[in-house]
Structure 1
Amino acid sequence: MKNYLLIFTALTSIIISSCKNETKKEEIEIIAPDETDIMESDVNSPEIGCYRYASEKDTVLLQMEKMNEEVAGTLSYNYFEKDKNDGTFEGKMVGDTLFADYTFGSEGTVSVREIMFVKKGNNLIEGFSEVEEVNGKMKFKNNSKFTLNDKMPLEEIRCDEN
């Protein structure tokens, strides 16, 4: 009986000892990444901007998020004695110019049209050009000839002000 007890104790010691060694090996093999290994370019956060034009009777509100050249956001036109337009847009910044497709609802109908805004200082100025309908979307005929609406600049505001 002492022999069995001695063998059992020896085997238990070996098993416990080998389990401890296995655990140590696993801990050594698992290496958590150091903060210095994470590149700053991997942690992109969008630029967020809000712009508003407001007069006694008219309001235009634009909110956008920009990630690299890609831009998306919401846009609302509320002109006196006209139907309100609310929608979203997705597009690109080309230098200081935003080109996007604006999908909006007005009079119970959903429409899509191209929009263009130029950033001047802290303002966005909407640009207009001749348009044509292509596959159900109003598109600019010529992307190089625009008239800027300097009379209604959208001023940059804090996003919690709208």
Structure 2
Amino acid sequence: MKNLGLFCLLLVCIALESCNKNQKDVKATLISSEKPVSVQCYKALYDNDTIDLKINTLKKEKITGNMVMKVFNRAKKIGKIAGEFHGDTLFVAYTFILEANKQITYKNPMAFLKRGNELILGNGEIETTMGASYFVKGKPIDFDNVKYKFTKVDCIDK
């Protein structure tokens, strides 16, 4: 009888998790299909590195977009960003693939400080727990000693 109770509990947990996953999938689909309120493009140059960033501002201040990172002597990173502003800081998750190996998807947190027409990519301590990476709470993100400062450019649709 005890095993039957555990089995039923397991089934309920699986059902609840699948419902939760479906809700997340629907929400992600709705956000990705939503028309942007505004679109802005940025470019950062540092030595031989180039980063192209396209930001779509959606309703309720949600942000989506695309980013391509071409870092000298490394594989090109091609991916999408999703996040939101907290004050003048944009926090996003960058989900990307390496051009050399398209089978593996990576996801990293990023923070951009908005100063005038410029976005500054911050450096912060990142921690990974159970496969999820995030900025360490209580540790500041440095926006002064950085490589990449993005300036606004005209958007070019490809």
TM-score (normalizing by structure 1): 0.66
Distance 1:161 1:143 in 2: 39
Shift of 1:160: 2.1
| SS of corresponding position for 1:145 | coil
Q: Gapped runs of 5+ residues in structure 2? A: 1-34
Shift of 1:53: 1.1
Maintained 8 Å contact 1:102/1:114: yes
What residue number does 1:80 align with?
Answer: 72
What residue number does 2:94 align with?
Answer: 102
- Which of 22, 40, 63 is the equivalent residue of 1:71? 63
Runs of 4+ in 1 over 6 A off after TM superposition: none
Counterpart amino acid of residue 47 in structure 1: S
What residue number does 1:153 align with?
Answer: 149
Counterpart amino acid of residue 119 in structure 1: K
Maintained 8 Å contact 1:129/1:142: no
Maintained 8 Å contact 1:60/1:75: yes
- Which of 52, 56, 67 is the equivalent residue of 2:43? 52
Q: Report the identity percentage.
A: 28
Shift of 1:141: 0.9
Distance 2:65 2:157 in 1: 16
Q: Gapped runs of 5+ residues in structure 1? A: 1-43
Higher Rg: 1
Q: Please list the CA deviations of residues 36-71 of structure 1 after superposition, one character each: whole Å capped at 9, or x if unmatched.
A: xxxxxxxx8511110001355210111011123200
| SS of corresponding position for 2:156 | helix
**1:80–1:105 distance in 2 versus 1, CA, 3 Å:** same
Distance 1:72 1:47 in 2: 11
Q: Please list the CA deviations of residues 95-138 of structure 1 after superposition, one character each: whole Å capped at 9, or x if unmatched.
A: 21111111111252211111110111111100121111123222
Computed over aligned residues only, the root mean square deviation of the Cα atoms, in angstroms, reads: 2.2
Shift of 1:143: 6.1
What residue number does 1:62 align with?
Answer: 53
